[in-house]
Amino acid sequence: MALFTPLRRWQPAFHPFVRLSAGSRLLTLVERVIKGPLFGCRMCGNCLLQETAFICHMECPKGIRNGPCGGVHDGYCYVDPKRRCAWHLINERARRLHREHKLLEVLPPVDWDRAGTETWGEVVKKVRETGLRNIMMPSARKGKSAGDVLEEEVFRPIRQPLWWSGDSEYHAPAVAEPQSHLERELGSGRFVITVEVTPPVSAATGKLEEKIKLLKPFVSGINFTDGSSAVPRMSSAACSAVAASLGADPVMQVSARDNNRNSLQSQAVGANAIGVYNILCLSGDSPRVGPKPHSSMNILDVDSVQMLWILRRMRDEGIYLDGRELKNRPHLFLGAATAPFAQEPYMQALRIRKKINAGAQFIQTNLVFDPDSLDPWLEQLDKEGLLDKVFILAGITPLRSMRLAHYLNDHIPGVTIPEEIMKRLSRAGDGFAEESIALTVENLRRLRKKQGISGVHIMPLGWETVVPLIIEKSE
């Protein structure tokens, strides 16, 4: 017991801090002055430094709390190309410190009531409530380390609000029956083809309906972008409703950039009413890549991982984020996007595992121009035991022009067109369209043979008329 005498004498030193309220200006200033230079702290009021290798994730220009996004390129941020990606740095340091397991926890959105305030006062209060004796004395810890007690009794209650219970475990869907035609097709083991349609820039739906009718007989699902490249167009929800009315199975994209936690839940509840059962959760392109003026903020209320977590619980547990019960749960087949070449396979697999744990059932990849380049990524997913937990749809596109090829290769994060393909297309001359279609058909055939690939997602980028031809030639 003599060992704990100094601790008893030291404990009163906490009292001045305890007397400071959680919103104390003095303690907030002290924390800002210390944590800012040391960790890049942005004073979100919900400190997660112990989960993010002691680098503040809020340095991410998009404010993503479960990163990185698909825009990281060679470790740099696509929003600000001169800045190192905060989540890339977090991943690197976590790996060096053997703390990768910490990155798997689904971290909560910002508690905006606490944004701009300190967290040290809460830590001190929790330590005092728990008692230094309980933390330090082995008999009181019941075999747990002091670090485990601090984690369970002090840090977790502070960083995780009462309305959030994110964890790092995999949760298999609680529903046995397929929620959509697309899920049924994927579950059957067939090689599935889906297609992306860019929404119109006006309120007219005539051409949109023509495209849907053209593509419907050839695909298992039709995906509608949600403000891709931060350019306003007809909403994905509206396009999905049109598709459903024509008998197609729509995949509705929901971008975190344009939705907060309330509108996300409202969209999920209303999805089935308009014939939508597939939802693809995306963080969304930064407004900085869209047309000027950049009128919206880069800060996300929720990110794609949090979206998946919220929607999975609505479907499987029948509860809203605030704890209210859903009498009639929405039927949802949940998807996410990934950029296989944005980071090394090990880090990409970590990111995908987190999305699968949160609720992703299918994954749509960024554009792939060399199917064999997916092998290291697929091997890592297989090693991690992820291929039997998710359906993977590889993204492909028929290039309409060399100008488009150069734009994708030079300006779109996560997209790389091999030099030999660029040369092949440039040599085609007047036969460019035919050569581009032939190349897409070749890639589709090669992807059919890839273990772990459940289908392809064709992104025609406005060239929808050639999709039926590509599919017919590939069979």
Encode pLDDT of 22-39 as tens digits: 447 777 777 777 787 777
The reply to whether 164 falls in a domain is no
Specify whether 388 is located in the same domain as 436.
yes
What pLDDT is stored for residue 146 in this prediction?
A: 57
What pLDDT is stored for residue 137 in this prediction?
A: 58
What pLDDT is stored for residue 445 in this prediction?
A: 97
Given 124, 159, 194, which residue is the final one in a domain? 159
Specify whether 300 is located in the same domain as 390.
yes
The reply to whether 101 falls in a domain is yes
**pLDDT tens across 387-437, in order?**
999 999 999 999 999 999 998 888 787 788 999 999 999 999 889 999 999
Specify whether 216 is located in the same domain as 78.
no
The reply to whether 432 falls in a domain is yes
**Lowest mean pLDDT, pick from 176-190, 202-216, 291-305, 377-391:** 291-305
Residue predicted with more confidence, 135 or 220: 220
pLDDT class for 42, splitting at 50, 70, 90? confident
pLDDT class for 243, splitting at 50, 70, 90? very high
The reply to whether 172 falls in a domain is no
Specify whether 431 is located in the same domain as 289.
yes
Specify whether 271 is located in the same domain as 154.
no
**Lowest mean pLDDT, pick from 134-138, 247-251, 278-282, 435-439:** 134-138
What pLDDT is stored for residue 205 in this prediction?
A: 95
pLDDT class for 165, splitting at 50, 70, 90? confident
**Lowest mean pLDDT, pick from 94-103, 158-167, 365-374:** 158-167
Percent of the chain with pLDDT over 70: 84
What pLDDT is stored for residue 195 in this prediction?
A: 98
What would the mean pLDDT of 285-295 be, rounded to a whole number? 70
**Lowest mean pLDDT, pick from 30-34, 95-99, 196-200:** 30-34
What pLDDT is stored for residue 253 in this prediction?
A: 96
Specify whether 330 is located in the same domain as 207.
yes
Is the pLDDT at 473 greater than 50, yes or no? yes
Specify whether 234 is located in the same domain as 360.
yes
The reply to whether 165 falls in a domain is no
Specify whether 147 is located in the same domain as 209.
no
What pLDDT is stored for residue 3 in this prediction?
A: 40
Is the pLDDT at 174 greater than 90, yes or no? yes
**Lowest mean pLDDT, pick from 113-117, 264-268, 426-430:** 113-117
Q: Which of 42-56, 418-432, 439-453 has the highest mean pLDDT?
A: 439-453
Percent of the chain with pLDDT over 90: 53
What pLDDT is stored for residue 163 in this prediction?
A: 75
Residue predicted with more confidence, 211 or 111: 211
What would the mean pLDDT of 347-367 be, rounded to a whole number? 94
Specify whether 67 is located in the same domain as 194.
no
Domains of the chain: total: 2
Specify whether 150 is located in the same domain as 185.
no
The reply to whether 374 falls in a domain is yes
* Cβ-based neighbours of 330, under 8 Å, separated by 6 or more: 268, 269, 271, 272, 311, 314, 315
What pLDDT is stored for residue 22 in this prediction?
A: 43
Specify whether 334 is located in the same domain as 276.
yes
Specify whether 355 is located in the same domain as 416.
yes
Given 159, 189, 204, which residue is the final one in a domain? 159
The reply to whether 301 falls in a domain is yes
Query: Locate tokens 């406005």: which residue?
Result: 462
Average pLDDT of the residues of the chain: 85
What pLDDT is stored for residue 52 in this prediction?
A: 87
Q: Which of 128-137, 282-291, 377-386 has the highest mean pLDDT?
A: 377-386
What would the mean pLDDT of 48-64 be, rounded to a whole number? 84
Is the pLDDT at 153 greater than 80, yes or no? no
What pLDDT is stored for residue 20 in this prediction?
A: 47
What pLDDT is stored for residue 131 in this prediction?
A: 62
Q: Which domain holds residue 6?
A: 2-159
| CATH number of domain containing 231 | 3.20.20.220
**pLDDT tens across 58-93, in order?**
888 888 889 888 888 788 888 888 888 888 899 999
Is the pLDDT at 321 greater than 80, yes or no? yes
What pLDDT is stored for residue 460 in this prediction?
A: 95
The reply to whether 175 falls in a domain is no
Is the pLDDT at 5 greater than 50, yes or no? no
